[in-house]
Structure 1
Amino acid sequence: MKIKNLFIVTLIALGVISCNEDSTIGSSIVNDELAVVIDSTFTVTGHSVPNAKIQSRTDVQLLGIIDAKGYGHLSSEFVTQFMPSNALDTVGVTVNDIDSLMLGMVMSEGQYVGDSIVPMGIDVYRLKRALPYPIFSNFNPEDYYSPDDLIASKIYNATRLGMPDSIAKVYRNNKQVPVEVKLPVELGREFFKKYKESPETFNDPERFAEWFPGLYIKNSYGTGRVMRFYNTSLALHYTKHITADSTTHMRKAIMAVTPEVVNNNNMELSISPQIKSLAQTTPIVMAPLGYNTEVTLPAQDLLNRFRSQSGDYTVVNAMTFEVPAETIENDYDIKAPNYMLLVRKDKLTDFFATTQINDDVTSFYAIYNTARKSYTFSAMRGYFTDLLKKDKITATDCEFVLVPVNLNVEYVQSGYNTNEAVVVAIVPYVDTPAMVKFDLDKAKIKLTYSKQTINN
């Protein structure tokens, strides 16, 4: 049972002393009562709702296939444009000096679900037309590439095995795992020629995308792993002539996937029978696709309780919402999402479409606390004070959605040798599989306010 706590502090005396040269000293006592109320007797309800697709708002790529008991069958491939470098190295370089072109995809250590050493395969296709926007996770690339445009294939894993020691050491020190695919040297020479002929094309991403729409990286073989790449680029390898008798071998990244270009993870999910059954009775979140949870907050009850206990002067101190959340048993060690968004249901679509951040009135985010096994939305005072301004509470004020998200963070200097993390965007969760179940019966809203009663 939830417990209501009432802490009362009595101010014994306020001595008011007034004196001057012509009067006698006098005093008066005013007895006031100051109460700090922490009310947590509110009820929250909710249920699971399907989440079949998400809008691409990220520059990360998910690649692979898993078939996990207690989760389901997830496949992810990706299509992407590239942001070109506006300056290619042409001094002392001819088109015939281009040795190779490499597609490089880099993963941070541990950013995968499944088996790191199982061999899997990918095919790389050149796109034949520009990608649409907006673009969603259920995008079908059938009309955007031709099976005849296969330019490379690769069998890969999620380790640094087989790499030269000197290169492997660099990636190991940076806690990175690369997957590199050798593309046709003719494509590299094509980029070089285009830059020589029309360097302005490389200064305009839209114009560049019209000429080179991008790549489609497609699963071709195997299951058992999904990897999250945060850095994907194309690099030229070439010989540079320093002098008539001196040359050096060079490697230069000439384009990369960035937030400014269209990038999409094409995902397919078949949810396991266990999860479908659980979602019928238990609020859950399953990501990157699967389920969100809709919750109903007791807005009217909050106001009624507050108004019935208000004193002569009342100040709202805080409102928090803690949601107990536990991982769901599965055989791939799939964990809870790191971040959860609580957003008003009618604001959900626009929130992601316009890349918003929390306003702490209609949207809030929380970090998963592994020790408490819960998400706590701790900055909800603005939600309650906004309710106080309204003449009538409607269903819109009560209906919210719990959605897994990723945060885009920038670091700004806030003092001498001190950097502060600032959230610049909250985007749909596009990451390795995650899921969690909520216990809304034990969810706790705490409304804290101070009230003062004047006793004359």
Structure 2
Amino acid sequence: MHLLSYNKICKIILSAMLVSAFASCDETSEIGSSIVDDQVDVVIDSVFVITGSSQENNIQYARTSNQLLGTIQADGYGDLSSDFITQLMPANRLLTDGITVENVDSIKLRMFMTEGAFVGDSVAPLGLEVYRLTKQLPDDISKLGNPSDYCTPQSLLASKTYTASVVGLSDSIADIYVSQGVRVVDVKLPRELGQEFYNKYTSPGGSELFNDPEAFAKWFPGLYVKNSYGSGRIMTFYATRMYMYYSKPDKVDDKDTVYHYVSSFLAVTPEVVNYNNISQQLSADVTTLASKSPVVVAPSPMGFDANVTIPVRDIVSKYKEQAGLYNVINSMTFRVSAESIENEYGITPPPYLLLIRKDKRDEFFKDAELTDNKTSFYAAYSSISKSYTFTSMRQYVIDMIEKDGTEGLTDADGEFLLMPVSLVTETVNSQTTVVAIVPYTETPVMAKLNFDDSKIKVTYSKQTIKN
């Protein structure tokens, strides 16, 4: 009991000493007085005029992340047709153990689409043709010319009528794909082609050829998958692969048995040249709207990006007028208002827009860059707010303030493009990372942008020193 009382007394004395010490500091230190008396204000500037216009986008890129196939004619949008020409990445190993060329039963080209990754009628019958390329594709896709020049009528491998459903597939295969939310277009190719691949792989130096994609493309340049007839649907395939099927007779307990094997040995990948041969004629309604208001329309060519002028000089000037000497930039955001354009097939706004400095666009895609939050940014479309909000622009405004104080700002510092893009992601240990940003070449998308209803917001903290 006496010990507890003693401890309480010691704590009271110690607290009194600390209060006394701090009181002495307040009386004698100007620094302490400044901290207590200074005022920190959070300032939000958002009264900026944003202007822009539509700009045709005629650029096509060789290495796209998907394959676009089909034809549509849609009121309020226009006509769009696409087929694709592509190299194929070989697997470094074929199934050959205990198997001969005679066991090669068939070969199939299989194109995969997520359920709903199309615009138009899912059951409309369309036709396709698959051609074997007879000459090498150029690395510079702008020099491609007409895809039909890379094959001949004699190099036709197969033709097929197809839909966006699982009609025509076996029940077992169809059930698997339906449960996974996947739709597939299967095209049976000549058995002789599969035997040719097998013989090439097992020939001297063949396995090395399959390990060298560049050398393989010189031997087998690729495929052209071409529309042959029909209209009413555009489909986006996220993967295209070639499968080899084997049948191997055997005996088990003196009973005749047939073993069946299948292996995927060729695929379209981001590393190979994969070109969507797009032909687009937008309706007069869309082109007239684009001449009056900023719109974005994809895919290209003959789509539209939107020019946008960020009033960077006004932003910096207003900041310097109000901020004073002691300040911190907290954030800069840019909300772009967007609305759907009425059309027959319910074509929606792009899922993502890239905001990129106009003079940086070409090198961004050529060098496969990611956004740096200085000259390039991306934002997702919100169907709730009907807008895209770019939220990571703090470093941009900091850089512009610094540049204004040294070399001075130019018109180019505020000239940007808004363009539809797709994000390529990877998920590892439940963490999803954006690994590539590519021009949007999936199902048709379009939107009208309203810059009068858009808003730039710059937030900063400023400290007022009281004497």
TM-score by length of 1: 0.92
Check conservation: 1:292, 1:401, Cα contact below 8 A: yes
- Identify which range, 268-277 or 55-64, moves more after superposition: 55-64
Match of 2:350 in 1: 337
How far apart are 1:146 and its partner, in Å? 1.1
Matched with 1:440 is 451
**Partner in structure 2 of residue 217 of structure 1:** 225
Is it true that 1:449 corresponds to 2:464 in the alignment? no
| Matched residue type, 1:386 | D
Q: Is the 2:166–2:184 contact (alpha carbons within 8 Å) kept by the matching residues of 1? A: yes
Distance 1:386 1:211 in 2: 51
CA contact (8 A) 2:26 2:33 kept: no
From 114, 120, 125, the counterpart of 2:126: 120
Equivalent of residue 431 in structure 1, options 425, 432, 442: 442
- Give SS of 2:105's match: strand
Partner of 1:11: none
| 2:385 is aligned with 1:372 | yes
What do the CA deviations read for 1:226-275 (whole angstroms, capped 9, x no partner)? Answer: 00001111111111356686540111111111111111101011111000
Is this contact kept in 2: 1:125–1:149, CA < 8 A? Answer: yes
Matched ranges for 1:142-157 at <5 A: 142-157=148-163
Residue 260 of structure 1 aligns to a residue whose secondary structure is coil
**Counterparts of 1:286 and 1:228 in 2: how far apart (Å)?**
17
Alignment of 1:51-450 (within 5 A): 51-136=57-142, 139-197=145-203, 198-240=206-248, 246-289=257-300, 290-390=303-403, 391=406, 392-413=408-429, 419-450=430-461
In the alignment, structure 2 segments of 5+ residues that lack a partner are 1-17
In the TM superposition, structure 1's runs of 4+ consecutive aligned residues that sit over 4 Å from their partners are 17-21, 27-30, 136-139, 241-246
Query: Residue 215 of structure 1 aligns to which amino acid in structure 2?
Result: L
* Secondary structure in 1 matching 2:153: strand
Query: How far did 1:138 drift?
Result: 7.8
Larger-Rg structure: 2
Of Structure 1 and Structure 2, the greater strand share is in 1
For 1:44, which of 50, 54, 66 is the aligned residue? 50
| Counterpart contact for 1:324–1:375, Cα < 8 Å | yes
Q: CA RMSD in A?
A: 1.9
- How far 1:57 sits from its partner (Å)? 3.0
With over 3 angstroms needed to count, the CA separation of the structure-2 counterparts of 1:24 and 1:395, relative to structure 1, is closer
Q: Distance in 2 between matches of 1:202 and 1:112?
A: 34
- Secondary structure of 1:238's counterpart equals strand
Letter in 2 for 1:83: M
Which secondary structure does the structure 1 equivalent of 2:196 belong to?
Answer: helix
CA drift at 1:24: 9.8
Deviation at 1:311, TM superposition (A): 2.6
CA distance in structure 2 between the partners assigned to 1:376 and 1:318 by the alignment: 13
Per-residue deviation, residues 134-167 of structure 1 (Å, max 9, x unmatched): 3259852132111221110000000012322211
Q: Report the AA paired with residue 89 of structure 2.
A: M
- Supply the AA of the counterpart residue of 2:220: F
Amino acid at match of 1:322: R
2 CA distance for matches of 1:450 and 1:342? 26
CA distance in 2, matches of 1:175, 1:242: 36
Q: Distance in 2 between matches of 1:220 and 1:81?
A: 21
Structure 2 residue matching 1:239: 3-state secondary structure: strand
Contact 1:137 1:267 in 2 (8 A): no
Q: What is the CA distance between 1:18 and its match in structure 2? A: 8.5
**Contact 2:89–2:267, Cα closer than 8 Å, also in 1:** yes
Q: Is the 8 A contact 1:284 1:436 kept in 2?
A: yes
Q: Percent identity?
A: 49
Aligned residues: 434
SS in 1 for 2:209: helix
Deviations 1:284-311 (A, max 9, x none): 0000121000010000000110000013
TM-score w.r.t. length of structure 2: 0.90
**Equivalent-residue separation in structure 1 for 2:211 and 2:286 (angstroms):** 48
Uncovered stretches (5+) of structure 1, i.e. residues with no partner: 1-16, 414-418
Residue pair 1:18, 1:25 contacting (<8 A) in 2 also: no
Question: Structure 1 residue 432: deviation in Å?
Answer: 0.3
For 1:319 and 1:24, the matched residues in 2 are separated by 39
Contact 1:93 1:241 (C-alpha < 8 Å) held by counterparts: no
| CA shift digits 1:100-150 (9 cap, x unpaired) | 111100100000000000000001111011111132598521321112211
* Closer, same or farther: CA 137–130 of 1 in aligned 2, 3 Å: closer
The aligned amino acid for 1:170 is: I
Q: Which structure has greater helix proportion? A: 2
Partners in 2 of 1:382 and 1:137 — Cα distance? Answer: 39
Native 8 Å contact 1:323 1:444 kept in 2: yes
Q: Secondary structure at the match of 1:440?
A: strand
Q: Given the superposition, is the C-alpha separation of residues 369 and 25 from structure 1 closer, same or farther in structure 2, using an over 3 Å criterion?
A: closer
Residue 170 of structure 1 and its aligned partner are, at CA, apart by 0.2
Q: 1:242 to 1:319 in 2, by over 3 A?
A: farther
